[in-house]
Amino acid sequence: MLRSLRPSTLVIGASAMLALPAAFAAERIQVIASFSILADMVENIGGEHVDVMSLVGPDSDTHVYSPSPGDARALADADLVVFNGLRFEGWMERLIDSSDYAGPRVVASEGVDKLDYHGHAADQAHGHDDTPDEHGHDDHGHGHDDDDHGHDDDDHGHDEHGDEGHDDHDHGDQDPHAWQDLAMAQVYVVNIRDGLIEADPANEPTYNENAERYINEIEATEEEIRELLTEIPASTSMITGHDSFGYFSNAYGLRFLSPVGLSSEAEPSAADMARLIDVIREQNVQALFHENMTSPAIINQLAEETGLPVAGTLYADALAAEGEASTYLGMMRHNAKTLHDALAEPGHDDHGDDDDDHGHSHGHGHGHGHGHDDHGHSH
């Protein structure tokens, strides 16, 4: 079970603990992750060498989070800070500045193929449909070479955070939810791995090995997800609480609509709701879904007014406190299974026979030469 503060070790008996040298615990580096999904990634890569604290815990909403003085103190004592970037945590840079933290920072999304955001889906539905026609990446070739992650910004991600202090919940013109595409998650893994190596070079071999294993698990999970989603017709639309599934939609060929934009803090107007009800009636909207960290009220209202079923709960911005969705890969499998159970038409396959590539070039490069000056972390 992922908690806000959780060592990445197995629980062992008290007698064994007494036998361990006192210096063992001190060898672990202290890592602060902004939210639960990143914390789980860090634990998978860091293993027994890290203690991870997640500022925003499971089933909690990063969009509306307000850091506490205790968070600033925790950052001041940390060896490494990991956050998403792309203005997802509008409060993060201000928190780091207030804590006087001076160690390495990992901007986990640095180098992903960013998706532009053009307004929430209720408006977009009346215009054009950006969903790929063949369940693939029409516009994004995802070549994940460790040494080429699009590091054109010499300040490693700080340009994109420059305005965060003005509006803690303004995500700008790009969708920050890149972890919803498992190919982009591989970029996250490489960035986190390199940050851990910078903070703890003595354990570089372990971090390399763990990252390699985790990337293999990510690839296997993606294959499993694609297998499930082939039975959902490409024309199918579904509605969630906020626009958090753009990367999932782009990667796996599904169409998500929502009453509000990228931030769960937004409230839809009466006009927004009316437009979305029109869209539901005009298009092939099959089901509504709750999100674990947003209020169910809006979705429940849509269900009442349209007669559509609420087909389950999806996890977008936070892990579950327990169960399958309490890990990142478990969350992705849970979402795919929930969508499949609600929307699949057995025997249907829009994907064709060439779906092994899906626009992803998986040359993510598991080489272990680390030029730490040009990865997704900074000083």
Residue-level pLDDT, tens digit, the chain, 379 residues: 344 544 333 333 444 444 444 445 448 999 999 999 999 999 999 999 999 999 999 999 998 899 999 999 999 999 999 999 999 999 999 999 999 999 999 999 999 999 998 654 444 443 334 444 444 444 444 444 444 433 334 333 333 333 333 344 454 589 999 999 999 999 999 999 999 999 999 999 999 999 999 999 999 999 999 999 999 998 888 888 768 899 999 999 998 887 765 445 557 778 888 888 888 888 878 899 998 877 788 889 889 999 999 999 999 999 999 999 999 999 999 999 999 999 998 766 655 444 444 444 444 444 444 444 444 555 4
CA torsion through residues 222, 223, 224, 230, sign: positive
Tell the burial category of 307 from Cβ atoms under 10 Å away from its Cβ (0-12, 13-18, 19+): exposed
Q: To which CATH superfamily is domain 229-343 assigned?
A: Nitrogenase molybdenum iron protein domain (3.40.50.1980)
From CA 340, how far away is CA 228, in angstroms rounded?
Answer: 6
Same fold, 5-110+140-223+361-378 and 229-343: yes
Which strands make up the sheet holding 310-314, listed edge to edge?
255-257, 237-239, 285-291, 310-314
Residue closest to 208 by CA, chosen among 195, 192, 193: 193
The CATH number of 5-110+140-223+361-378 is 3.40.50.1980
Its pTM surpasses 0.85: no
- Residue 251 makes CB contacts below 8 A (sequence gap 6+) with 137, 180, 181, 182, 183, 358
Supply angle C-alpha 227, 232, 237, rounded to 5: 135
Number of residues that make up the chain: 379
Q: Give me the helix-helix angle, 328-343 and 36-46, nearest 10°.
A: 130
> If phi over 0 gives left and psi between -120 and 50 gives alpha, with beta otherwise, what is residue 351?
alpha
Which helix H or strand E contains 206, and what residues bound it?
A: helix 204-229
Q: Which amino acid belongs to residue 130?
A: D
- Over its C-alpha atoms, the chain yields an Rg (Å, rounded) of 21
Domain boundaries, the chain: 5-110+140-223+361-378, 229-343
- Residue 151 makes CB contacts below 8 A (sequence gap 6+) with 110, 111, 374, 375, 376
